[in-house]
Amino acid sequence: MSIKPGFSKDEEQLLKQIAASVIPPSTERSLPGADDEEVFQRLYSNTTDALNSLLNAFHELLESEGGISAASHWKAEKFNDWISNQIESWPAQSHVFFKLFFPLIIRAYYKDERVHKAYNRRPGPPFPEGYELSDEDWGLLEEVRGRPSLYKSCD
Amino acid sequence: MKDVDVLIIGGGASAAAFAWSLADTKMKILCLEQGDWVDHGNYPAMSSDFELRDDFSFDPNIRKSSADYPVNNEDSDIAAANFNGVGGGTILYAAHFPRLHPSDFRVRTLDGVAEDWPIDYETLTPFYELNDRMMGVSGLAGDPAYPPKQAPMPPIPLGKSGSALARAYNKLGWHWWPADCAINTTEYEGRDKCINIGLCGSGCAQGAKGSVDVTYWPEAIRQGVHLKTNCRVQEVTVGPDGMATGVIYFDANGNTHRQSAQMVVVACNGIGTPRLLLNSKSSLFPDGLANRSGLVGKNLMFHPYATVEARFKDALDGSRGPLKGIQSHEFYETDTARGFVRGFSIEMHRGHGPLTTAMIGLLTGRLPMGTNHHEAYSQLADRIMAVAAVCEDLPEESNFVSLDGSLTDGNGIPAPKINYKLGENSRKILGFAEARGRELFEAAGAEEIIRTQSPMPMAGWHNLGTARMGTDPEKSVVNEWGRSHDVKNLFVIDGSLFVTSGGVNPTSTIQALSLYIADSIKTRLSNASLFD
Ligand SMILES: Cc1cc2nc3c(=O)[nH]c(=O)nc-3n(C[C@H](O)[C@H](O)[C@H](O)COP(=O)(O)OP(=O)(O)OC[C@H]3O[C@@H](n4cnc5c(N)ncnc54)[C@H](O)[C@@H]3O)c2cc1C
C-alpha cells in the first residue's frame, strides 16, 4: 500500500531502495537503515511542505531514467553503480531529487530514538531529565588567575 | 485604558527591567507588547522534535508567527534575528551575559574612531550589579579582563568541551575565564538550577535561564505594572506642542485603539525602535519622530561573528549543557600592530544535537551517504565544537534601518529594511579572529577544522546603535539619560542606544542602561525636572 498519495507501490519501493543505499542498516551498531518503516513515516510527516517538491523531483528522476518500469528493470542491473554515482556527485552534479532527498532523509533518520541510543544519547525529549555535565578540573584556571589586568583603565 | 503615566512599547529585555525599576514610584505604568506570553510547556525541549522546530527559529522570516514582523535582509551582509513576545530576545538568547569594558565607553578618545559614550563604566556599575542579581547570573570573581565584579552564583561547569578549550588557551598563554551567564547554577529566587538540556537557544523549559518573562516581569506585575499582550503599536502620536501624547495600536483582532500617556518609552530593540519612530510621521516630524538629527535608524551595528568549527577525536559534551561556558578576552583591546582598532571576545559553542551534527556533516562533506555513513557519523557525534569571535562593529551612517517600500506586517505597517555592509575595520577583525580560532583548535589537538563562517550570515541577533545616546543633538537621538533631544517626554531604553558596540554580547549592558535611565527619571521626578 502506498503510504502517501502520489507514490505508487513500485515507486515507494524504489524510494526505499534508494534510502537503504544512502543510509544502510548496520547490525554491528544496531542501527536501522533509512528504508525503515518508522523512518519513512517520519520522512512523510516531517516533510509536509517539501513533499510535493520531493515527489515531483522523484517523478522527474524516474522519467529521466525511462519510467518506473525501466527504472526497476535498470535498477536490478546497474543500481549500485547508479546510486554510487549520484552519491559521489552530490550535491553539485547530482539530480535535483537527491539534492532534496539527502537532507530530508537525514532529518527523518537522526530523529530516530534507536539512532540516538546507538550513539549513547538518551532517547526522548531533553526535558525533564536533562543531562549530566562534568565539572572537570578548575585547576586549569590557576594559570590565568592573578595575571595583570587585561582591560584598559580609562581614568 | 485611561491616560497612563508611563507607556512602554515592547516587552523585552530592556522594557522589563525598566518597568520593574519604575514600579516603586506607584505611577500608572502600562506596557504594550505585540506578542504573547510564551508557553513554557511548548518549548522544543519538551518534545523529541527538539531540533526541528521552526516556531522557535531566531529568524522572524521563518517563524512567521502573528507577533512577528517581516524583515527585508536583501541588502544586508547579515540577517536580523529576534523574538517577538513577552521576554523579547531573552526567550531565545544564549544568556551569555558579559559586560562592556571601561574602554568601550571611550572609543573616540582612545582610538580616534566613532564617538565616546556620554556615560562611563562607573556610571553603569551599580546597575550592572543590580541587574546581575535580578537576572540571576553565574560567574567567577577575579577575571583579569574586568574591574572587580562578583556574580551571585558559581560558574557553569567546564564540561569536557570547556576543559579541552581551557587547556588550549593555557598552551597558547591566552586569557580565558568562565563566562558570566544568566543561567542558574544553583536554585535561585525560586527558579531551579540548570539541568543541561542544552537548548538555551530555543527557550529554557527548566526556567533556569534568566529570560525576563521569569525574572523581571513577574516582579513588575506584582508591583502593579500592567502588561498588555498582542498589542502592536503602529505609531507614537504627538500634540501641537511637540510632546508625545500616546500611541495608536492594533489589538489581536486587528482593531485600532488610542492610548494616551504622560511619558512614552520605546523598547522595541535596535530594529523595532527605529522602525516605529520612522513610522511615526507627523507635520512636526515629517522624517519620523525624534529624528531631527536624521540619525534614527542610522549607525546600525551588529556583532559580526567569525565562527570556526572543529572535529575532535574523542567525545566532548555534544549539546549537553549550556551552549556557552568559557570565554577569552585576549584580543579585546586595541593593539594597532594587528592592523585594526578595537577587537573581539571569543565564545565557546559547546556542541550540537544528533540531527544538527548530521546536517553539518552532510553540508561540510564529512558525512558521506552510502557504505561509510555510520563510521563517518561516529567520528562526528559529540565531537564537534565551535568557537565564535564576537567582533566589535564600528558605527557607520551607511549602515541603517529604513522602512521597506512594499513589505508590511500582518497589520499593514511598513516593515524594516536592513541596509548593512561590513566595514573595512570589521572585515579585518573577522579575518584576524578566524585565524585565532584556527590556532586555538590546533592547540586543542582538534583533528580538523570542518567549517568557518566570517561573517556568520544569520547572526544579526545584536541590534544596536540606531537611536544612539549623546549630549550633542546633531550627533545623537537621545540625551545621556535616554530622553529624546526633540521630544521631551519620549524615551528610548533598548539596544538602539549604543554608541559603540563593544565586542561582547549586549544584553547585560542594555538592561543596565534601562535601569540607569529609570533611575535618572526617578531622580528628576523627585526634583520636578523631568521634562525641562
Ligand atoms: C538567538 C539569539 C541569541 C542571543 N544570545 C544572546 C546572548 O547570549 N547574550 C546576549 O547578551 N544577547 C543575546 N541575544 C540578544 C538579546 O536577545 C537582545 O540583546 C535583547 O533581547 C535586546 O533587548 P531589547 O530590549 O533591546 O529588545 P528585545 O528583547 O528584542 O525586545 C523588543 C520587544 O519589543 C516588541 N515590539 C517590537 N515592536 C513592537 C511594536 N511596534 N509594538 C509592540 N511591541 C513591539 C517585540 O515583540 C519584542 O518583544 C540573542 C538574541 C537572539 C535572537
* Residue of chain B nearest A142, judged by CA positions: B170
Lowest mean pLDDT among A48-52, A69-73, B411-415: A69-73
Pairwise CB contact (< 8 Å): A111 & B321: no
CB A96 within 8 A of CB A60: yes
Q: Which phi and psi angles does B178 have, rounded to 5°?
A: -55, 135
Distance (Å, rounded) from C-alpha A58 to C-alpha B299? 48
Percent of chain A whose pLDDT exceeds 90: 50
Is B247 strand, coil or helix?
Answer: strand
Position with higher pLDDT, B471 vs A82: B471
Residue B107 to chain A, least CA–CA distance (Å): 10
CA of B376 to the centre of ligand 1 (A): 38
Non-local (6+) Cβ contacts of A86 within 8 A are A94, A95, A98
The whole-model pTM stands at 0.97
Which of B382, B324, B329, B320 lies closest to B349, judged by CA? Answer: B324
> Angle at the Cα of B517 (from B514 to B519), degrees rounded to 5?
110
Using pLDDT thresholds of 50, 70 and 90, give the confidence band for residue A48. Answer: low
What are the tens digits of pLDDT across the range B311-338? 999 999 999 999 999 999 999 999 999 9
CB A97 within 8 A of CB A54: yes
What are the tens digits of pLDDT across the range A23-33? 999 999 999 99
Pairwise CB contact (< 8 Å): A111 & B49: yes
Distance (Å, rounded) from C-alpha B213 to C-alpha B230? 15
Q: Name the β-bridge partners of B417.
A: B72, B402
Q: Model ipTM?
A: 0.93
* Residue of chain B nearest A124, judged by CA positions: B48
Inside any domain, residue A153: no
Q: Is the pLDDT score of B301 beyond 90?
A: yes
Please report the pLDDT score of residue A75 as a whole number: 64
Residues of A within 8 A of B158 (CB-CB) are: 134-138, 140
Q: Is the pLDDT score of A5 beyond 70?
A: no
Please report the pLDDT score of residue A73 as a whole number: 64
* Cα first-last separation, chain B: 27
* Cα first-last separation, chain A: 78
Give the residue numbers spanning the domain of A17: 9-145
Kind and range of the H or E element at B402? strand B400-408
Residues of A within 8 A of B357 (CB-CB) are: 110
Peptide bond before residue A91 is cis, with ω within 30 degrees of 0: yes
Pairwise CB contact (< 8 Å): A135 & B157: yes
Inside any domain, residue A60: yes
Residue B173 to chain A, least CA–CA distance (Å): 8
> Angle at the Cα of B211 (from B209 to B214), degrees rounded to 5?
95
Q: Name the β-bridge partners of A50.
A: none
In single-letter form, the type of residue at position B304 comes to: P
Pairwise CB contact (< 8 Å): A131 & B121: no
Mean residue pLDDT across chain B: 97
Q: Is the pLDDT score of B529 beyond 80?
A: yes
> Angle at the Cα of B380 (from B378 to B381), degrees rounded to 5?
70
Pairwise CB contact (< 8 Å): B359 & A103: yes
Q: Number of folded domains in chain A?
A: 1
What are the tens digits of pLDDT across the range B370-387? 999 999 999 999 999 999
Pocket test for ligand 1, best of B14, B58, B65, B82 (most atoms within 8 A of CB): B82
Nearest CA to ligand 1 atom 19: B507
Position with higher pLDDT, A71 vs B426: B426
DSSP labels for B105-135?
GGHHHHHSSS---SS-HHHHHHHHHHHHHHH
**Mean pLDDT confidence for B229-258:** 98
CB count within 10 Å of CB B434 equals 21
* Residue of chain A nearest B142, judged by CA positions: A145
Pairwise CB contact (< 8 Å): A137 & B158: yes
Percent of chain A whose pLDDT exceeds 70: 90
The finding on whether B262 has its CB within 6 A of some atom of ligand 1 is no
Please report the pLDDT score of residue A70 as a whole number: 73
Give the three cell numbers for residue B389. Answer: 569571535
Q: Is the pLDDT score of A76 beyond 70?
A: no
CA of B384 to the centre of ligand 1 (A): 28
CA of B252 to the centre of ligand 1 (A): 21
Please report the pLDDT score of residue B119 as a whole number: 98
Which of B176, B125, B180, B128 lies closest to B154, judged by CA? Answer: B180
Q: Is the pLDDT score of B276 beyond 80?
A: yes
Inside any domain, residue A1: no
Q: Is the pLDDT score of A68 beyond 50?
A: yes
Lowest mean pLDDT among A81-85, A95-99, A142-146, B127-131: A81-85
Inside any domain, residue A150: no
Percent of chain B whose pLDDT exceeds 70: 100
Closest partner residue to B46 (CB to CB) among A127, A131, A146 is: A127
**Mean pLDDT confidence for A119-140:** 92
Distance (Å, rounded) from C-alpha B510 to C-alpha B491? 14
CB B248 within 8 A of CB B238: no
Q: Is the pLDDT score of B183 beyond 70?
A: yes
Residues of A within 8 A of B362 (CB-CB) are: 102-103, 106
Residue A92 to chain B, least CA–CA distance (Å): 12
Mean residue pLDDT across chain A: 87
Using pLDDT thresholds of 50, 70 and 90, give the confidence band for residue A2. Answer: very low
CA B429 to each of CA A100, B151, B339, B432: distance values in angstroms, whole numbers, following the listed order: 36, 30, 9, 5
Give the three cell numbers for residue B466. Answer: 540606531
Inside any domain, residue A21: yes
Nearest CA to ligand 1 atom 3: B93
Inside any domain, residue A2: no
Q: Is the pLDDT score of A1 beyond 50?
A: no
In single-letter form, the type of residue at position B398 comes to: S
CB B279 within 8 A of CB B417: no
Please report the pLDDT score of residue A52 as a whole number: 82
Burial of B314 (0-12, 13-18, 19+ CB in 10 A): exposed
CB B102 within 8 A of CB A151: yes
Pairwise CB contact (< 8 Å): B158 & A147: no
What are the tens digits of pLDDT across the range B41-82? 999 999 988 998 999 999 999 999 999 999 999 999 999 999
Distance (Å, rounded) from C-alpha A1 to C-alpha B272? 52
Which of A3-17, A52-66, B155-169 tops mean pLDDT?
B155-169
CB count within 10 Å of CB B263 equals 24
Please report the pLDDT score of residue A146 as a whole number: 86
Give the three cell numbers for residue B420. Answer: 548593512
Please report the pLDDT score of residue B229 as a whole number: 98
Inside any domain, residue A107: yes
Residue A61 to chain B, least CA–CA distance (Å): 19
Pairwise CB contact (< 8 Å): B373 & A23: yes
Q: List all residues of chain A from 59 to 88 with a beta carbon under 8 Å from chain B.
A: 83-84, 87
Closest partner residue to A107 (CB to CB) among B52, B206, B369 is: B52
What are the tens digits of pLDDT across the range B99-135? 999 999 999 999 999 999 999 999 999 999 999 999 9
CATH 1.10.1040.10 fits B4-38+55-526, yes or no: no
Q: Is the pLDDT score of B364 beyond 80?
A: yes
Peptide bond before residue A5 is cis, with ω within 30 degrees of 0: no
Maximum CA extent, chain B: 77
* Residue of chain B nearest A107, judged by CA positions: B355
In single-letter form, the type of residue at position B2 comes to: K
Ligand 1 atom index nearest CA of B231: 43
Q: At how many degrees (to 10) do helices B13-23 and B121-135 cross?
A: 90
Q: Is the pLDDT score of B413 beyond 70?
A: yes
Distance (Å, rounded) from C-alpha B386 to C-alpha B308? 5
